[in-house]
Amino acid sequence: MALPSDPVDFVAANTQLCDASAPTVVQWATEAFGDGLVMTSSFGVQAAVTLHLVTRILPDIPVIFIDTGFHFPETYRFTEQLTDRLKLNLKVYQATLSPARMVAHHGMLWEQGIEGLNRYDRIRKIEPMQKALTELTATAWLAGLRQEQTEHRQSLQHITIQDGIYKIHPIITWTTQDVHQYLKDNDLPYHPLHDQGYTSIGDWHSTFPVGENEQTRQGRFHGLKQECGIHLPQTSEEGASRDASML
């Protein structure tokens, strides 16, 4: 497959990859970015899909896990389970401020409305993620986002740019049924809280089970927002540029 020019022409790349299979998208990213490619995982409900898909092609790719210090015990155990089973090259990043010190200085931010949640996410998720990308000298990252998950993600294509980093979404067009089928075909586990009604899993203090007719991420962030910020542009200029490009 012919590669786009350097820097990557993501408009041309999206045209080239619009009907490509997920493994083909991963292989394209491997050839385009080489050692600059990393991937992220929250080790949520369906995390095993992207982790398995990518590591079959790139066994040693750095897998970034942002440890907020407030994950469910089940999430930590699930992370260990998948790390051992898939032999992941796991890279754990945490905030400089410890959980206890953050609460001492700022209180329980997750109980302080949307402003508190946004501050919490910046301290515990966004800043550690930026540190990870810098220390790993990443030029591109693979993420398991899907269009049907949130309003923001509906506009995403296979290749985007976020904060100067190329982002590749191999399963962006997959449906929930596609995910279920991949897990079944490859004998992969769900997060253990899936069977308790959790359809999207983050930190214990702001993640709840959802009802049968509720949206997948309605149980996150007390229903006040859908994204933690890791997958959002950090500048208004970049957001406007992305929107103008229909990405």
C-beta separation of 38 from 138 below 8 A: yes
Instruction: Report the interhelical angle of 47-55 vs 176-185 (nearest 10°).
Output: 60
Cα–Cα distance, 105 to 230 (Å, whole number): 23
Asked whether the CA dihedral 190, 196, 200, 203 is positive or negative, the reply is negative
C-beta separation of 93 from 67 below 8 A: yes
Cα–Cα distance, 194 to 176 (Å, whole number): 14
Instruction: Report the interhelical angle of 73-86 vs 47-55 (nearest 10°).
Output: 20
Query: Active site includes 18?
Result: no
Catalytic residue from among 102, 117, 228, 230 = 228
Catalytic residues: 228
